Amino acid sequence: MLKLLGLDATAEAVYREMLADPEGGVAELRERLDLPEPDIRAALDRLADLTLLRASRERPGALWPVSPERGLELLLRRQEEELARRQQELEVSRAAVARAVAEYAVLRPNTLVDGAERLVGLDAIQAKLEVLTGRLAGECLAVMPGGAQSAASLAASRPLDEDALRRGVRLLTIYQDSVRNDQETFAYAQWMTDLGGRVRTAPVLPPRMLVFDRRTAVVPIDPQHTKLGALCTEEPGIVASLVALFEQTWENAVPLGADRPEDGRTGLNAGERELLRLLSTGLTDEMASRRLGVSVRTVRRQMAALMERLDAASRFEAGLKAAQRGWL
Residue 164 — very low, low, confident or very high, per pLDDT cuts 50/70/90?
A: very high
Topology match between the domains 1-106 and 270-324 = yes
Residue 219: predicted pLDDT: 92
**In the predicted model, is pLDDT for residue 267 greater than 70?**
no
Look up residue 89 and give its amino acid: E
At 303-328, the pLDDT tens digits run: 777 777 777 777 767 767 777 777 76
Choice between 220 and 286, residue whose per-residue pLDDT is larger? 220
The gap from C-alpha 230 to its chain's centroid, in whole angstroms, comes to 21
Q: Whole-angstrom Cα distance, residue 276 to residue 273?
A: 5
Residue 105 — very low, low, confident or very high, per pLDDT cuts 50/70/90?
A: very low
CATH architecture of 270-324: Orthogonal Bundle (1.10)
Residue 150: predicted pLDDT: 85
Cβ(134)–Cβ(161) below 8 Å: no
Cβ(45)–Cβ(316) below 8 Å: yes
Sorted by sequence, the CB contacts under 8 Å of residue 262 that are 6+ apart come out as: 268, 269
Segment among 26-30, 122-126, 319-323 with least mean pLDDT? 319-323
Most confident of 75-84, 191-200, 249-258, 289-298: 191-200
The percentage of residues in the chain with a pLDDT greater than 70, rounded to a whole number, is 83
Global pTM value:
0.53
CATH architecture of 112-255: 2-Layer Sandwich (3.30)
Q: Whole-angstrom Cα distance, residue 271 to residue 122?
A: 32
At 191-240, the pLDDT tens digits run: 999 999 999 988 878 888 999 999 999 998 887 777 778 889 999 999 99
Q: Where are the domains of the chain?
A: 1-106, 112-255, 270-324
The percentage of residues in the chain with a pLDDT greater than 90, rounded to a whole number, is 18
Fold of 1-106: Arc Repressor Mutant, subunit A (1.10.10)
